[in-house]
Amino acid sequence: MLTTSALERYVQNTYRFCPDAQCSVVYFADDGTVFRTSEVRERIWQKEPPGRRTMCYCFGENEANMAAEIERQGYSDVVHRVRTLIAAGRCACEIRNPRGACCLGDVIAALERLSAAKASAS
């Protein structure tokens, strides 16, 4: 996930992920090493404003597409699509997702938020 220049500073360590939207740090280690949003190749959805954030880095699912699908057909099949692709062994969340973990929970939460927003707007 790190840019070329950030990789030059990388040392083997135990890094943790910072999901705080108000903080520019993405990864940090106990020795004080930090990598900020400007030093990663992907936009970090937890650090971005709602609306167009990518929720699933493996399959390109994002809030804008989910909202458009809800608007178009009244619901979104995003969870089914992602689950199907995971079951087929096509995900690589530990590598592609900046958090290094499965995105399915994030996708489900985003879909619930978007569905609730659509229902309250109706």
Q: List CB contacts of 70: < 8 A, sequence separation 6 or more.
A: 76, 114, 115, 118
21 plus 48 within the same structural domain: no
22 plus 4 within the same structural domain: yes
pLDDT tens, N- to C-terminus, the chain (122 residues): 999 999 999 999 999 999 999 999 999 999 999 999 999 999 999 999 999 899 999 999 999 999 999 999 999 999 999 999 999 999 999 999 999 999 999 999 999 999 999 888 87
The confidence score (pLDDT) of residue 75 equals: 94
6 plus 66 within the same structural domain: no
- Whole-angstrom distance, CA of residue 40 vs CA of residue 29: 16
The confidence score (pLDDT) of residue 118 equals: 87
Q: Which residues pair with 15 in a beta bridge?
A: 29
36 plus 49 within the same structural domain: no
32 plus 47 within the same structural domain: no
Domain hosting 118: range is 43-122
- Whole-angstrom distance, CA of residue 113 vs CA of residue 116: 5
23 plus 48 within the same structural domain: no
Contact (CB, 8 A) for 15 and 28? yes
28 plus 50 within the same structural domain: no
74 plus 50 within the same structural domain: yes
| pTM, full prediction | 0.86
The confidence score (pLDDT) of residue 23 equals: 97
115 plus 55 within the same structural domain: yes
